[in-house]
Amino acid sequence: MPSYESSDGSALHYDDVRLKDSDGDKCPVILIAGGAARHPSYLGDLAGLSDRHRLIVPHLRGVGRTAAPDQEELGSFWTQADDIEHLRVHLGLDRVVLMAHSAGTRLALAYAAQFTLSVARLVLITPPAAYLVDEPSDAQTLSEKRRGDSIFEAAFAALEAGPQTVDDDGFNAWRQESAPAGYANWGATERSHATIGRWSLPATKAYFSVAPPRDLAARLGQVKAPVLVIAGAEDCLTGLAPVAALARLFPTGECVVIEGSGHYPWIEQPAAFRGTIDAFLEQPSKSAATRG
């Protein structure tokens, strides 16, 4: 597994996913997993995205092959932005196409705020947005549509109750118990996907150990690169309204809603998801940003 050195001398690992003989080097994508601190294997290759793009998938601090840092704050999403910048330099990229899912979007946004001119394009997949926007969440309204579904109600009750133990096994068991809440449907495909990718509880705690600056939303308004926000029309975890509002923070932000999808649109609606991603990555850049 390839690795690179961080500013504190740690070895940080990543997966390099590409089809043999593909033109993936033409537009590599750095792909950040959510969770927080979930093993990135649950991302797969995002509905076959590696058939067109080389995917660079970091193992974040304390996840997968990358060891936990000696200092907890080095594992925070705000501080790990510096790790992504070191990865950009390691890969020899002038600017990066950055794509992230769920809690991973916190790291992507931290990077965009701190290394604005290094961003070529930004894709945020079902991002939590309540910490950045004033738009009230409609997650409860979306959840009400599934009342009467015993599997969903049990999952949502588990989600609201939180984990009952403080060890890794108990935390992962709770994640499995609450998993149906993240999907619009709970069929064989969704059930199988939910079992992929273990969470690290210590890395989760470290991820949130440093609060972002209060002016983060304002700083995102300086990001000139094209930004795509993808929302699931039935995402009961993030809601829909705050996710759409997040796109409006960016000068060139746009939001696309994937119908019939919850928190994992590449699993539930792969064709619609890929169509959206491909159109965005292949469109001519409208960004006026240049590296100085």
What does the pLDDT look like over 193-230, one tens digit per residue?
A: 999 999 999 999 999 999 999 999 999 999 999 999 99
Mean pLDDT of 165-175: 93
Matching residue, tokens 């738009």: 135
**Full-prediction pTM beyond 0.85?**
yes
22/145: higher pLDDT: 145
Helix, strand, coil percentages, rounded to 5, for the chain: 40, 15, 45
Per cent of the chain over pLDDT 90 is 90
134 HSE (CA, 13 A, CB side): 1
Q: Terminus-to-terminus CA distance in the chain, angstroms?
A: 33
What confidence score (pLDDT) does residue 164 get?
A: 85
Give 11's strand partners. Answer: 5
Give the residue among 72, 38, 113 at the shortest CA–CA distance from 209.
Answer: 72
What confidence score (pLDDT) does residue 25 get?
A: 56
pLDDT level of residue 20 (50, 70, 90 thresholds): low
pLDDT level of residue 166 (50, 70, 90 thresholds): confident
